[in-house]
Amino acid sequence: MLSQADRRELDDILKKYPDKRSAVLSALYIAQREKNYLTDDDIRDVAQALDMTVTEVHAIVGFYTLLRKEPTGKYLIQVCTDLPCALRGADDFYRRLCRRQGLPPEGGTTEDGLFTVEEVVCVAACDKAPVAQINLEYHEHLTDEKIDAIIAELREKSTEGVTAG
């Protein structure tokens, strides 16, 4: 459910749009931000806030791959493995990445819940494959070493400020 702070943020965003339904992606992002997925209550709250039906909001959630209906790692690593990218080694890169993260070949979420790795079709960067979108940031011309360094940096960033019990 949207917190009071989330509702205030959404109210500020709504001021930018003549038709508040246009803010649906921003509203869904706000609703998903804290736990990295959307519950039925979140979707209902967004629909109500934007004068949309729950079905309309569900359709949008189903269309966009960054909107999730099930628990997802803090960092969603989406590797494009469509044909042009596969021809540039993306399939093998993806499988090696899964193996190094202790995941089955079809991907999934790491044991610590930090990373979800999945294949996607087309992130519009075929000439830069292997390419991954991590949350909303693109990483191009990836090698095993590059992605491992990115993952190590994200893992370190996620533990900053956390002290041992």
Domain ranges in the chain are 4-63, 75-159
Task: Please provide the CATH number assigned to the domain covering 75-159.
Answer: 3.40.30.10
Tens digit of each residue's pLDDT (9 = 90 or more) over 4-46: 888 899 999 999 999 999 999 999 999 998 888 999 999 999 9
The pLDDT tens digits of the residues spanning 76-92 come to 999 999 999 999 999 99
Question: Over the stretch 124-144, which tens digit does the pLDDT of each residue have?
Answer: 888 999 999 998 899 999 999
Sort residue 71 into left (φ over 0), alpha (ψ -120 to 50) or beta.
Answer: beta
- Dist CA 62 CA 142 (whole Å): 28
Is CATH 1.10.10.1590 the classification given to domain 4-63? Answer: yes
Cα–Cα dist 26/34, whole Å: 14
